């Protein structure tokens, strides 16, 4: 069901033109005639699941292409086959589509391995690259520090012919892993460590998911990424701020290889039926999306999954897009978050409540209402006859009549929330007490006459009466009653597993190890609680991933994996209000 915001009757709201610095650059470039069309790309490494930080990059890469009539490719930077898996490839495609985007072309860095190899030979021939025999440990020793320059490799002055011979033998698989690397010849005295003769290729005899055993050598990320952008004719290469120090190397690779001016290097593309779109891209950095009460280090996310600290990559407490989706977050809520945090060059940490607020705003407008009881307490209306059964009509949304109505069963026996009754009420209590009255949502005013307890003194049942003259619309409904509570019919409600999720960590910065603790010490023991509740039939029959507001309780979603019509499972997506705002 789709509902658009309107400025007037039948008038859709005009889209607001975004004014962040990247869009201003794009507008200036177009106005100056630099590009005939805008081309962007989203370039994930297929070595894990995407997290909420990637949502910002996805919305920016695909959003800018769409806004300016351009194209955006999805390109897997698959240059490290030891850590890559087709499972991640499929999940990433699912995530991008779930967020509402479609790529112009699906590409892989591995599509260009032949091009990268020819580009490397060109660099060798130009005297811009050399084969180095230093071990990884020796390379680190020679590299220098932030305050001291590095030293040239003793192999830096090898001749072109020797370098070409060694590199071709690396390609032929003649040498063992780690024996040699191909390095750029730039400047070991540079203040930017990325320019101190960085590696361009390493020997790695690992099968690749796309190319099999064809390659015993693989390009390094910086080399493959920059040339991948150039191959695809990317006009604006958007990346996060940690790549700002890599930009000089990015530009060096693009300029020294000059794919746009070297059509002979692109011959392998034509053999694969790929077009020659080569151009010189411009890298632009923006701040990444950081949210407190989360960790987004891929290493830590992998460890939590592998060590059983969470129930997999799509655990609803995880910051992965798969986890957020299962929790009940919507694509619209995540796109709204990206709009609200905006695009800038300033790193900052967004409060988790901003994310939750985006979901509330989306679901408040779009989620139908239902009634569910999470902590059931039996309430018997003794003045209704045994076997009494009727249906009451309820609107599906209090702010939007287009959602229609539904029939809700009502009988003598109800389930109400245990938390809506207090034998000894605290100050300001407005719900049910012995001898007190409340308004039963949509059914009338009820009074509690009797409290039934078990042998241990636990309250197991309430008994009371319904004022038959207090149904909605009757004159008796107009008397002042302080509280209203929700309910479900105990005879026809459907038992449901209800999973109450909260923040995975109990502190705002779980990465802070200043007191000798790690993120594992800050896991929130109350981040997941499972209870057996009851839902009205119109909720139980819903399809998986259907969102509801359970009245007075929160926003819930039918679980993507486990929910069945006969055996419903609901996940709490977010509470109705921010319950953390007062937490110190």
Query: Can you tell me the distance from the alpha carbon of 563 to that of 541, in angstroms, rounded to the nearest whole number?
Result: 10
Element (H, E) at 88: helix 86-98
45 is in an annotated binding site: yes
Beta bridge partners of 83: none
Q: Are residues 60 and 70 in contact, defined by beta-carbon separation less than 8 angstroms? A: no
- Give how far Cα 406 sits from Cα of 371, 397, 403, Å: 12, 10, 10
Q: Are residues 273 and 317 in contact, defined by beta-carbon separation less than 8 angstroms? A: no
245 is in an annotated binding site: no
154 is in an annotated binding site: no
Residues in the chain: 584
Angle at 39 between CA 34 and CA 41, to 5 degrees: 140
53 is in an annotated binding site: yes
Active site residue 298: yes
221 is in an annotated binding site: yes
Q: Say what the alpha-carbon torsion angle 197, 201, 202, 203 is, to the nearest 10 degrees.
A: -140
Bridge pairing between strands 547-550 and 554-558: antiparallel
Bridge pairing between strands 11-12 and 6-8: antiparallel
Helix (H, G, I), strand (E, B) or coil at 61: helix
Active site residue 572: no
297 is in an annotated binding site: yes
Active site residue 288: yes
Q: 93: closest CA among 301, 296, 321?
A: 321
52 is in an annotated binding site: yes
77 is in an annotated binding site: yes
Which one from 45, 84, 121, 232 is the annotated catalytic residue? Answer: 45
The two tokens of residue 206 are 């690992």
Cβ burial, residue 148 (10 Å; 0-12/13-18/19+): exposed
Query: Can you tell me the distance from the alpha carbon of 455 to that of 187, in angstroms, rounded to the nearest whole number?
Result: 83
Helix (H, G, I), strand (E, B) or coil at 65: helix
Q: Are residues 259 and 276 in contact, defined by beta-carbon separation less than 8 angstroms? A: no
87 is in an annotated binding site: no
Query: Can you tell me the distance from the alpha carbon of 353 to that of 517, in angstroms, rounded to the nearest whole number?
Result: 25
Query: Can you tell me the distance from the alpha carbon of 97 to that of 50, in angstroms, rounded to the nearest whole number?
Result: 13
The two tokens of residue 324 are 């957020």
Q: Are residues 520 and 513 in contact, defined by beta-carbon separation less than 8 angstroms? A: no
18 is in an annotated binding site: no
298 is in an annotated binding site: yes
57 is in an annotated binding site: yes
Query: Can you tell me the distance from the alpha carbon of 239 to that of 305, in angstroms, rounded to the nearest whole number?
Result: 27
366 is in an annotated binding site: no
Query: Can you tell me the distance from the alpha carbon of 400 to that of 404, in angstroms, rounded to the nearest whole number?
Result: 8
Element (H, E) at 533: strand 528-535
Which one from 143, 156, 171, 288 is the annotated catalytic residue? Answer: 288
Angle at 25 between CA 22 and CA 28, to 5 degrees: 150
195 is in an annotated binding site: no
Which one from 171, 298, 492, 552 is the annotated catalytic residue? Answer: 298
56 is in an annotated binding site: yes
**Residue numbering of the annotated binding site for ATP:** 45-47, 51-57, 240, 288-289, 296-298
Known binding-site residues equal: 45-47, 51-57, 77, 221, 240, 288-289, 296-298
The catalytic site residues sit at 45, 288, 298
Binding-site annotation: residue ranges for L-glutamine:
77, 221
């Amino acid at each position: 069901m789709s509902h658009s915001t309107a400025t007037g009757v039948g008038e859709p709201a005009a889209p607001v033109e975004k004014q962040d610095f990247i869009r201003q650059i794009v507008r200036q470039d177009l106005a100056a005639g630099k590009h005939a069309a805008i081309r962007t790309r989203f370039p994930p490494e297929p070595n894990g699941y995407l997290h909420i930080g990637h949502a910002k990059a996805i919305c920016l890469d695909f959003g800018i292409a769409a806004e300016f009539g351009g194209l955006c490719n999805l390109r897997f930077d698959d240059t490290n086959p030891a850590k890559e898996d087709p499972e991640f490839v499929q999940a990433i495609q699912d995530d991008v589509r779930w967020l509402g985007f479609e790529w112009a072309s699906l590409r892989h860095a591995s599509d260009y391995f032949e091009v990268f190899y020819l580009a490397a030979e060109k660099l060798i021939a130009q005297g811009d690259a050399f084969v180095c025999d230093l071990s990884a440990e020796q390379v680190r020793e020679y590299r220098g520090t932030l305050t001291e320059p590095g030293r040239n490799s003793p192999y830096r002055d090898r001749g072109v012919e020797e370098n070409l011979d060694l590199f071709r033998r690396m390609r032929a698989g003649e040498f063992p892993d780690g024996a040699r690397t191909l390095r750029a010849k730039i400047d070991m005295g540079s203040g930017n460590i990325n320019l101190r003769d960085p590696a361009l290729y390493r020997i790695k005899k690992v099968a690749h998911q796309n190319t099999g055993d064809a390659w015993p050598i693989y390009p390094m990320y910086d080399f493959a990424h920059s040339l991948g952008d150039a191959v695809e004719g990317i006009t604006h290469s958007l990346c996060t701020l940690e790549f700002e120090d890599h930009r000089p190397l990015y530009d060096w690779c693009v300029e020294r290889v000059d794919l746009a001016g070297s059509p002979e290097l692109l011959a392998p593309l034509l053999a694969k039926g790929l077009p020659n779109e080569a151009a010189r891209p411009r890298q632009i950095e923006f701040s990444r999306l950081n949210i407190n009460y989360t960790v987004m280090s891929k290493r830590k996310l992998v460890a939590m999954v592998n060590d059983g600290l969470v129930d997999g990559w799509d655990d609803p407490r995880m910051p992965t897009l798969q986890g957020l989706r299962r929790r009940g977050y919507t694509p619209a809520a995540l796109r709204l978050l990206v709009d609200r945090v905006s695009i800038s060059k300033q790193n900052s940490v967004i409060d988790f409540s901003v994310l939750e607020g985006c979901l509330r705003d989306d679901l408040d407008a779009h989620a139908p209402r239902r009634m569910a009881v999470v902590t059931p307490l039996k309430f018997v209306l003794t003045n209704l006859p045994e076997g009494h059964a009727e249906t009451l009509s309820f609107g599906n949304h209090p702010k939007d009549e287009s959602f229609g109505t539904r029939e809700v069963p009502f009988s003598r026996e109800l389930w109400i929330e245990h938390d809506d009754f207090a034998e000894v009420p605290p100050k300001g209590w407005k719900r049910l007490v012995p001898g007190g009255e409340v308004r039963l949502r949509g059914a009338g005013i009820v009074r509690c006459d009797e409290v039934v307890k078990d042998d241990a003194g636990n309250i197991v049942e309430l008994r009371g009466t319904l004022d038959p003259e207090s149904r909605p619309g009757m004159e008796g409904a107009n008397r002042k009653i302080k509280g209203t509570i929700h309910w479900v019919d105990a005879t026809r409600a459907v038992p449901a597993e209800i999973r109450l999720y909260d923040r995975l960590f109990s502190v705002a910065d779980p990465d802070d190890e200043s007191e000798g603790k790690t993120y594992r010490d800050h896991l929130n023991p109350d981040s997941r609680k499972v209870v057996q509740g009851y839902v009205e039939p119109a909720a139980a029959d819903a399809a998986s991933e259907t969102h509801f507001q359970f009245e007075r309780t929160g926003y819930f979603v039918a679980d993507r994996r486990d929910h069945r019509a006969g055996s419903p499972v609901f996940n709490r997506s977010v509470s109705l209000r921010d319950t953390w705002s007062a937490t110190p």
